[in-house]
Structure 1
Amino acid sequence: MNLNLHFLKERPACLLQLDCVPNWADLSKAEIEDIKEVFDLFDFWDGRDGMIDAVKVPDLLRCAGMNPTIKVSLKHGATKKAGEKQYKFDEFLPVYQAIIKEKEGGTFADYMEAFKTFDREGQGVVSAAELGHVLSGYGERLSDEEIDEIIKLTKLHVDLDGNVKYEEFIKGVLEGQPK
């Protein structure tokens, strides 16, 4: 494995601290190249200085096929305001790795169990209005526009009574997530 250790030129004292040497063994060369390509695109639109603003980390990760919550992104180095922090690629990789390892999402069974609490008659359906309420009122609250986009992307079918099959909805959402 050939690691790019040019950061040591800038911080030679780092050699004395083993914990500061990046551990990229968990990432394949292809993964590093893929995220570097996305990083470079963001850098291109952000001044071509080899750095990206930390406020753009969540957007960069979404472009890379990930869907971290705002909470997870902030926990691992994103910022809420532009100009607070900048990342070089070598500094960004540990952020990327930490977010990959973060397991905040639930499983299919977890989501099914949660939706069953709203399914009063045990028919496998919830009202579309209630689905919208759940998406906008719990967890990472979504806007009406985001809810509409999710419904569109999952190709959710609303029946004549205004109900949706939540199993289909959950499958549609999970299929859109990276494997």
Structure 2
Amino acid sequence: MSDLSAKEKEIVKFAFSIYDFEGKNEVDGVYLGDVLRAVNLNPTDKQVAEQGGTVRKKDKFFKVDEFFKMFSEIKKDKDSGSYEDFMELLLTYDKMEDGHVVLTELEYILNNLGERLEKYEVDGVIAELCPEPDDDDMVEYEPFVMKLTKGLKK
């Protein structure tokens, strides 16, 4: 816990308190991923499970001191992907080397690489972050990656 700044501790306590629905100074493990995302982290479902997150309510509860440790560990994790990582990946799909990829290939990447997303999740990400495709169904990927990684440490 000593590696957290006073501001980080304050932010973590506030987010934690929002998910302390019963006022018992604890959060249900089913909301662990939500709390981590509320403090601007981007854990995968696997990371949440590794930290003790649950899929059923009332299986496990966490105190704020336990959450500080989880916050620190997830914050240090380098596997969350950066702007550079995403750009490098998409360059391999950029056949014309002009900053564009076929929309269906972008959907394939989101659906199959890394932590698998459901079709409705991919559709939501595309609708929210992706520029309109051109007549050839090509999209410019840099604006998409910029929106996708906004707020992530590079």
When normalised by structure 2's length, the TM-score is: 0.87
Which residue in the other structure is 2:8 paired with? 31
Structure number with greater Rg is 1
1:49-70 CA distance string (max 9 Å, x none): 2211112110111122221111
Structure 1 residue 81 corresponds to structure 2 residue 46: no
Q: Work out whether residues 127 and 164 of structure 1, in 8 Å CA contact, stay in contact via their aligned partners in 2.
A: yes
Q: Counterpart amino acid of 1:33?
A: E
Shifted more, 25-34 versus 148-157: the winner is: 148-157
Q: Counterpart amino acid of 1:38?
A: A
Hey, which bits of structure 1, 4+ residues long, moved more than 6 A? none
TM-aligned CA deviation for residue 178 of structure 1: 6.0
Higher relative contact order (CA 8 A, sep 6+): 2
**How many angstroms apart in 1 are the aligned matches of 2:18 and 2:7?**
17
Q: Counterpart amino acid of 1:107?
A: S
Q: Work out whether residues 72 and 102 of structure 1, in 8 Å CA contact, stay in contact via their aligned partners in 2.
A: no
Structure 1 residue 173 corresponds to structure 2 residue 137: no
What are the within-5 Å matches in structure 2 for residues 145-160 of structure 1? 145-160=120-135
List runs of 5+ in structure 2 lacking aligned partners.
none
TM-aligned CA deviation for residue 172 of structure 1: 1.8
Q: Counterpart amino acid of 1:26?
A: D
User: Which secondary structure state, in structure 2, belongs to the residue aligned with residue 39 of structure 1?
Assistant: helix
Q: Counterpart amino acid of 1:129?
A: T
Which residue in the other structure is 1:17 paired with? none
Which residue in the other structure is 1:42 paired with? 19
Q: Counterpart amino acid of 1:118?
A: Y
Which residue in the other structure is 1:53 paired with? 28
**How many angstroms apart in 2 are the aligned matches of 1:109 and 1:41?**
33
Distance 1:174 1:31, change over 3 A: same
User: Which secondary structure state, in structure 2, belongs to the residue aligned with residue 126 of structure 1?
Assistant: strand
Which residue in the other structure is 1:104 paired with? 79
Q: Percent identity?
A: 34
Q: Work out whether residues 65 and 178 of structure 1, in 8 Å CA contact, stay in contact via their aligned partners in 2.
A: no
Q: Work out whether residues 40 and 151 of structure 2, in 8 Å CA contact, stay in contact via their aligned partners in 1.
A: no
1:3-30 CA distance string (max 9 Å, x none): xxxxxxxxxxxxxxxxxxxxx2211111
Q: Work out whether residues 54 and 85 of structure 1, in 8 Å CA contact, stay in contact via their aligned partners in 2.
A: yes
Which residue in the other structure is 1:16 paired with? none
Count the aligned residue pairs.
Answer: 154
List runs of 5+ in structure 1 lacking aligned partners.
1-23
**How many angstroms apart in 1 are the aligned matches of 2:138 and 2:147?**
16
